[in-house]
Structure 1
């Protein structure tokens, strides 16, 4: 998902909260947590009259949520689903973008046993059929009945596989480019022509067998001069930084058995892993193979209609990749949110792959030539088409925190658990501080928890944390196993105020969560990150729920790796109200926010800034068991703890009302509040004694003054600061600026300049009446010498020169204050 989408965009240290979401985030997501990075430059746009040999390969990444939610979510809201809009747009613009072929990357549906999902996918693909726009399909793990990694395509009962019924060889043979399928029918290959050159798309099934690899070898051998694009559901992954490529065990198996030994394979494209990345490897022939992963299912609205447009620019020896959404530009303007951006422009969302096609293909196709130069820049053309008449909101952006205090304090915060300052094994009984006060967590003893096989070392606090969390630590729960009575948890005390909060005015609950890569459904399904203890089936007025022996409020992960928020609202007779995300990626930090709005009686879950599709209605507040604690790291079943979290939990906050993204834990403190009160300016009289600079700003931030005057201070709890000079400034010219900062993040500078005139001649003796003093104001504090009847002492030339020399870079004496928060 964006953090929006959370992927890095062109500004270093920033991500745009669009569909990518990064947090994704998108994605995406709008903001997985991801590290700062400069986006790669976009492909050089060709001038309007720069015609060349070009074509566009269209790529449809995982469409599973479009199919799953077509009937009950997208159709009622919009009249169409994103999958249908994608294929309609491609057929409409096939000529303008010179699209000879469309390839899918698997996970056509989300639940292979649900007929209605295949119907939705069929409706979308039928658009390509009707327009005679060639395409390939191949099943992903969600398209087969059993996606166990230990099985391959020869292990299936093919008579029961729904993919073969809907998109098998019988349908594929009606596509003009189709050349054949492997013996299982789950893999297929196509030959399409573009710009006078034939290309093969080899579309492989999820987890192919050695027999299917042998079939693929034979297909390539039968077409010895044809460049091959391999598409399948899984090859490369994305590393935990959400940018770098990460090779997989299965992808390396494909590399060793098929890709590196076939020089004709020059490009692989896969989905499966949420986000995007790319990798260039060298095959056995010393030639490059570009591998690309693209998947936006965890972005806003299940992917927000993003697809890949791969412009093959044969004249300029490059493949220019764009990530675009026809769905965003199709939706009614009034439905658009900040996540809806027509193009994603992150480092792996818009990039160029340099490729000398003739040189790359020479070993097997020495006769390769480019076509006639009749096409303009197709990347530019795609932008023109999608942006024509489009009006949408600007994306939201956020930054990495400057230090551990770089977050927004929110009035109404009931509990805020942070792990900064602690490290190592969490001992039994050890507490985690609630920085909001009054609701500290303590580790339950192993004896009291009933976890027979738990060990003290299973719970640790370390530096691993989400990129957008200002808390530089998290608590990690290791070795959790529901089948082995191994779990651990932290809990509030029985008298903690938050235990008895009903949230009648709504709530905002946030947490940063990461699932350990060792997670398995057998050992960790329905594990819990945060719950309110008790048994909902024993609570007065709650309808009996066969699955409901857990707490009245739970945040956990299902057997399908989906986040679930389940709550009994403050009207217990309404029963369970549930929010669901899509499948969550392992070993990746996710920000989860749950917003209950009493105004419209809804609860919305956001993952990396993007709202999930399945949200709860007719719900306000929470029912609870009086004095029952909140638990972090485990669940409950029939009043007994269990279902331990296998992974890490970052800072977690509970607020007693609705707050928006500008106040979430992913947002940064406001550093635009810096003022320098009555800054000196212009030419000041020689009698001026300038000793103090002061102003206002963000409590806890450090004020840094630089230039011909330098010094620092920490802003007080009341929002004021002052820097006091050890002595008054001598005469001379001064230029300086002030910023306020939380660690590495600074505000824009407030600049000022002034000069103090040289020493004037001694005044005539006073007549006894005091002359008015010359005042600058309350900020830059100054005094003048009043006429007291005494002559001013003469300043010697040597002393004056010494003062002027020192005045060029006079360091201020900083008045030390106790800050409300450390500046880091």
Structure 2
């Protein structure tokens, strides 16, 4: 710890959730979802806790300076016991992968203090893997990691971690260690470095990184950066040595965490690969009750591409709200900008320099045509001999073959007086799409323009009724920025007026019998006039994103229709009966929707593989399987 000069305490009251009655802070919910079946099991009192190694969401717990809880005859390990019980009990729900301590376990580093701390750590030992590193109060502060034996080393040396499945080794002196943990379907490296790393310690750390060149790394140490009350962190002298000697030249290190100083702070530095490195100070020993065993949870969410950070005291959270003292109530949870925040991290992009994400290979059409496939189109060479290079014009008259052999081929034509740019070939595609190609549509209003792909007169799909159900799938991406007025643009449809089929319930008898469209709010709208009912049940999605591929599925089991976006069932699906689709023997269309049998604007964005099956498919059987 340090209190000198510009390292003054942050004199800011923490906002709190005074009514919290469950042992979790508000933002813990961001890491509660677990999705896969693979798990790492650890014994807990009263049961067993399962850590899901494959879920895209997991948490890293960070525990800063606990020295005032282990201070000679004023020691009180109760807060830390509560923290460890919380982490063990919540490991499964919060999917806690690991806990790392940032040094200054004790105040004086005496055998008595170290022994009490070591005994306290047995609360978590064998339940959540962890690392501990020496701070300046745990050893002789004038020494580096070549100091030799110490009370700290005897209790917190490599032998303590030997039984942990994450522990992979320590430096010869025993003061530096590293762990490899599996989370979010990949391995991550945690480096725990001494208060003062020697040149040999830096060489050892570099050797660890060299031996694990594809693993994203979190570096933890005691003295890294300091901050004024504004929370803007700056590297300390030792932090600068670590930056120059290790961090900046190793792109793997994307997050560096230190304690020692207060107030907490954070900054973002740029490494030699021109990538961000997040540098954070975490230390609450200046707070009431020496920080009361306060922890930070770093909630990694690889789906949302964020790390959600929150800071709270499990010891105070576990208490009856009506019996908390004013200072306990004030210190339950810290919500200032350096205590509770989110980091935007595109993990694949950030890690691609040392661990590029493996791109799935294209899948042949034969692998994605299950029983009942009526039509399947893709926009690569397997789907059309006319497929051109990315950006090249798709000519009018080009044919995209129906790969099922059912003859539902599509022919390209432009709307109105649209030019060549209205439809072009593209290599863009959804990561899980079977074909690695798509079409780029440049439709719009004022004047109406666009391009469409339509089946020929007499194609079987034109008259298919789907009385037993159906699954219609396609891939979409909307441009970013999403410029211009594209409200109610069509994505796919069948031509023909529903009034000509005797339907009376819809918005207008002039709209087609089935169409997928986009509202002004970017809600997907699927409106269908069923074959058997005089009705127009309509599904509405949420506002869909721009600049990101989506998989859309419309599934009907012969009774009702459900829309899925990226394998997730939307909320606004109609409950009214819906059997089949009223078709009038007129073409199926990709790229627009008619009104009164006339096209207006065309689609604006990308469309990928599109498939129609004459039965309801489970999400696991979609073109991109969703388990």
- Give the TM-score taking structure 2 as reference length: 0.49
- Give the TM-score taking structure 1 as reference length: 0.37
